[in-house]
Structure 1
Amino acid sequence: MNQPRSNAAQETVDRVRQALGQTAAAPTRPNPTAGGARREFDFSSLPEYEILKVWKAVGDLTHISNPFYRLHDGRASNTTSIDGRTIVNFSSYDYLGLNGHPEVAAAAKAAIDRYGTSVSASRLSSGERQVHRDLEAALARLSGTEDAIAFVSGHGTNVSVIGELLGPEDLIVADAVIHNSIVEGAKLSGAKRILCPHGDLDAFERALRLNRARYRRALIVVEGLYGMDGDVPDLAGLIRLKRRYNAWLMVDEAHATGALGATGRGIAEEQGIDPADVEIWMGTLSKTLAAAGGYVAGSRALIELLRYTSPGFVFSVGLSPPVAAAATAAVDVMMREPERAAALRRNGRSLLAKARSRGLDTGLSIGASVVPVIVGNSGQTIMLSEQLLKRGFNVVPAVFPGVAENQARLRFFVTSEHTPVQINSVIDAVAEELPSIRSNSSIVGAIVGR
């Protein structure tokens, strides 16, 4: 049951609506031809833009800064600098502390000296360089596969690969909380799409049993470590399903590389799986590997096919040489120093245990590189992020529509470089701030109609 608004809360709601020129009545869509106006060319008139204006007005009136697009002054690590102030950072993906590592930085600088900052063409035409081949060989070794191919965008990798390999005659069965890039690739393909409840292997089996026979090809897609929840799939169970129903299995290792397995090789190492039992391994260069871009690893036939048919590769410029060289060096350091992965797991488990000991909801996280603290209300989550920043911690919220409103959360990205003091202090701060926020957040909730 909704609680009645206090006078102060109602006054703030009215002030926001007045600032936005709103009335209590629902806004109507503008008539594009009324009075000769051509409003269809005015993006500020779109309902989506009106939502942004509401949130900005809420922030202005409640003195809560925008938690997104904060300007950082230097290198992302376990600390960062915002407005010249050193902040403990739990919102970057430098899982093994390789961003700025001397070998990684030196490799990037040497590549600039030899190749410049761009290869200035697609690799298919005249952009191929040895630095690309070195990276792909390193990625294949890391993944335990025959070959690999590197793309300029991690998001674009999934969109382009899924969009090219599947078509309207095919079936895609994916986890309901799969990354947006996979969702967009599935849409592009035109294939029949079925989303199964998160982690529900029975639902995957049911979807395949009831639908597989009607489609030419089938693809099962999961994440090796889920970036929103911090949990893992049952890979052996999925392999049994894909064999039973003659489907391909694709695993997105974006958050798993560096975080899972004794040496950080990912979920196959973590769960004792032969990498050859998975047809398509996808990963990103922008997290553990301290660069930018994405890759696919798998059989030589798959990689050769993608080299000549995947639009995101064929029609895109090749990876920037310093980026490719940095990622190659990061793979080398990671494989040579498995103690980095071990330190990350210790820190992840420590943060998870500390959060649970303080009564915080960490959902399904196993305590690897991603640990959520679920607040369950977007406004409160944003307010909590603001209070943590004031106390010296950068933890960016995940709110509706990125997650369901009752699943709004802070996501803690843990690295091998975080210290016990940093981990304990941030969880203490969350546990201290959250009760007060929950008891005094009626204004934000009232404004957004929650």
Structure 2
Amino acid sequence: MQHQNGNTVLTKDGIKKNGHSSNGTKSLPENQKVFQENFEETPIYIAVLTYLCYGILVLVGHIRDFLRNTGLENDKACTEPRITGFVPLFQSWESFYTRHVYRRIRDCFNRPICGVAGPTMDVLERTTKDHWWTAEMTGRKHNVINLGSYNYLGFSDCKGPCADAVEKTTQSYGIGTCASRQELGYIDIHQKLDNLVAEYLGMEAAITLPMGFATNSMNMPSLVGKGSLILSDELNHASLVLGSRLSGASIKTFKHNDMADLEKKLKAAVVDGQPRRSRAWKKILIVVEGVYSMEGSVIRLPEVLQLKKKYKAYVYLDEAHSIGAIGSSGRGVVDYFGLDPKDVDVMMGTFTKSFGAAGGYIAGTKQLINHLRLHSHASIYSPTMCPGVCQQILSSMSIMMGRDGTLEGKKRIEQLKWNTQYFRRELIKKGFIIYGNDNSPVVPLLVFFPTKLGAINRMCIEKGLGICVVGFPATPIIESRARLCLSAAHTKETLDKAIAILDEVGDELMLKYSRKKV
């Protein structure tokens, strides 16, 4: 990072070039922030041992399958129960990984909780007698620090101004409209929400929908189709992948956050056109996320927008994990880099994280939003959002905008930023390998070994810390991890306790692989 006149400028290589980028295009705005991404290569011995671990699991699994098929092993517990009159739910080979690897640590996934998922939560304990084909409650529960939910700004609560407003709205409007947006389901509170979201994002108009996943998967087919090209980041969320496939457009992926690879594919698309037809693409849509929920990385949006303008493409930005979570005003990655939101053609986000609610939105020009209102499957077939959920979003968003007459929203945004930087810094000091941007509240802690995934989850629960663990195929095979999520509701004392637990568990399981000197 270099400075000139007190400002920092990013180029394609992240280096100041006297106001111009190295590829000859116009330099970025002078209020940009440097990318502070943490990434450490997997130590070679850890990679080898992780592959060996998977190899042993697969070998033992095949041996046990052979023994069962020959009748030499009587224990059928990890195979699918045969129910008279029903076909098998899983095919034998297709479910091999599920049966022999995933099922061994299934108690670490889908854990039921009771109560509010705030800074702490109560996790219910389950047990099984058939390798997690069925489960029973033991009646025991653990009160743990919650580092597993996306309650970034702490608005997921059952008391306070948001909860009070939701209660009044539910008494006035009821539970739901029981109709779609186009069939008498669109009432005044939905219109109020659409208008506030557009104003909050700095866009001309917005449409809100009751499900975040469907906001991507059901709207993308309305934007592009056959004869169009989608350039998708290789780590994009499943909802974006599904929406791209349903659209019928041609799809090409580019390396994660690699602007050189993106430009290479953009240039080839413009020069070569459609395969076998040599016609120009009707549209080229670049699809990216603001904060990537598995990596904790932030998209290099200034450079994406540069390339979009240079090659006359469109940008679809998914702000699900960045809206409310980063930026001085909590307006996401566009706010974080100080960019003009109108440079983003399609701005998508969800209310399920920072706003403590449900649903999603798409914002853009009035022409775009009117098109979606008429042609989106989510607009035509899905019931509208519950009035109480709308009010939760309206109340939390108003607090973030300061319309409640207090600085509560600003305090929460600043608290989340402080918590994120402090927590990441302390874990790195302990010797853990941590991925992602220094300001990302998603904190991936690398575990590597599949056998240690279950161990770290169970040990943390017993010691009072609730975390999520993620492994192959959701991550690369040698990059299994614990995904930790920060919240503005966490205090320094809470974070210190969580760090102490992770430090203790890390020592017991030998998870401190980092070779960096802090």
TM-score interval (norm. to shorter)? 0.7 to 0.9
The Cα shift of 1:90 comes to 0.3
Q: Distance in 2 between matches of 1:413 and 1:2?
A: 28
Show the counterpart of 1:69.
Answer: 110
The Cα shift of 1:134 comes to 1.2
Q: Confirm or deny that 1:325 pairs with 2:391.
A: yes
Question: After alignment, is 284-293 or 13-22 more displaced?
Answer: 13-22
* Contact 1:95/1:344 (8 A) holds in 2: yes
Cα 1:319–1:13 shift into 2, 3 Å: same
Show the counterpart of 1:133.
Answer: 191
Cα 1:354–1:23 shift into 2, 3 Å: farther
In proportion to residue count, which structure has more helix?
1
What amino acid is aligned across from residue 439 of structure 2 in structure 1? G
The Cα shift of 1:55 comes to 3.9
- CA deviations on 1:106-163 (whole Å, 9 max, x unpaired) are 2222222122111011110110111111111111122110111011111111111212
What amino acid is aligned across from residue 270 of structure 1 in structure 2? Y
Show the counterpart of 1:389.
Answer: 461
The Cα shift of 1:105 comes to 1.3
Matches of residues 244-323 of structure 1 in structure 2 within 5 Å? 244-323=310-389
What amino acid is aligned across from residue 52 of structure 1 in structure 2? T
The Cα shift of 1:183 comes to 0.7
Q: Distance in 2 between matches of 1:396 and 1:16?
A: 31
What amino acid is aligned across from residue 259 of structure 2 in structure 1? L
Seq. identity, %: 28
- CA deviations on 1:50-97 (whole Å, 9 max, x unpaired) are 5433247635xxxxx611111101111111111343210001111111
Q: Distance in 2 between matches of 1:14 and 1:398?
A: 21
Show the counterpart of 1:350.
Answer: 422
Q: Distance in 1 between matches of 2:472 and 2:96?
A: 16
Q: Confirm or deny that 1:102 pairs with 2:148.
A: no
- CA deviations on 1:414-433 (whole Å, 9 max, x unpaired) are 00111222223323322332
Cα 1:185–1:369 shift into 2, 3 Å: same
Q: Distance in 2 between matches of 1:428 and 1:128?
A: 50
What amino acid is aligned across from residue 121 of structure 1 in structure 2? A
Q: Distance in 1 between matches of 2:437 and 2:49?
A: 31
Of 415, 421, 433, the residue aligned with 2:493 is: 421
Q: Distance in 1 between matches of 2:113 and 2:315?
A: 38
Q: Confirm or deny that 1:85 pairs with 2:142.
A: yes
Q: Confirm or deny that 1:407 pairs with 2:448.
A: no
Of 185, 192, 197, the residue aligned with 2:243 is: 185
Q: Distance in 2 between matches of 1:24 and 1:347?
A: 56
Cα 1:339–1:22 shift into 2, 3 Å: farther
Q: Distance in 2 between matches of 1:360 and 1:69?
A: 26
* Contact 1:145/1:298 (8 A) holds in 2: yes
Three-state SS of the structure 1 residue aligned to 2:230 is strand
Q: Distance in 2 between matches of 1:268 and 1:372?
A: 23
What amino acid is aligned across from residue 144 of structure 2 in structure 1? I
The Cα shift of 1:44 comes to 4.0
Matches of residues 157-196 of structure 1 in structure 2 within 5 Å? 157-196=215-254
Cα 1:344–1:24 shift into 2, 3 Å: farther
* Contact 2:142/2:462 (8 A) holds in 1: no
5+ long unaligned stretches in structure 1: 26-37, 60-64, 440-450
Cα 1:344–1:171 shift into 2, 3 Å: same
Q: How much is the aligned-residue C-alpha RMSD, in angstroms?
A: 2.8
What amino acid is aligned across from residue 235 of structure 2 in structure 1? V
Cα 1:74–1:16 shift into 2, 3 Å: farther
Cα 1:24–1:384 shift into 2, 3 Å: farther
Q: Distance in 2 between matches of 1:23 and 1:353?
A: 54
Q: Distance in 1 between matches of 2:373 and 2:162?
A: 27
Q: Distance in 2 between matches of 1:42 and 1:326?
A: 43
Of 111, 115, 120, the residue aligned with 2:178 is: 120
Matches of residues 18-33 of structure 1 in structure 2 within 5 Å? 21=68
- CA deviations on 1:306-352 (whole Å, 9 max, x unpaired) are 00001122111111111111111111112222111000000000111
Cα 1:19–1:39 shift into 2, 3 Å: farther
* Contact 2:142/2:461 (8 A) holds in 1: no
Three-state SS of the structure 1 residue aligned to 2:184 is helix
- CA deviations on 1:249-281 (whole Å, 9 max, x unpaired) are 111111111111112111111101000111111
Q: Distance in 2 between matches of 1:2 and 1:369?
A: 30
Cα 1:283–1:23 shift into 2, 3 Å: farther
* Contact 2:298/2:440 (8 A) holds in 1: no
Q: Distance in 2 between matches of 1:333 and 1:16?
A: 59
What amino acid is aligned across from residue 119 of structure 2 in structure 1? N
What TM-score do the two structures reach when normalised by structure 1?
A: 0.87
Q: Confirm or deny that 1:334 pairs with 2:392.
A: no
Question: After alignment, is 47-56 or 373-382 more displaced?
Answer: 47-56
What TM-score do the two structures reach when normalised by structure 2?
A: 0.76
- CA deviations on 1:373-430 (whole Å, 9 max, x unpaired) are 0112233123211111111101111111111111111111100111222223323322
Cα 1:362–1:57 shift into 2, 3 Å: closer
Show the counterpart of 1:360.
Answer: 432
Q: Distance in 2 between matches of 1:23 and 1:333?
A: 65
The Cα shift of 1:207 comes to 0.6
Tell me how many residue pairs correspond in the alignment: 419
Three-state SS of the structure 2 residue aligned to 1:373 is strand
* Contact 2:152/2:324 (8 A) holds in 1: yes
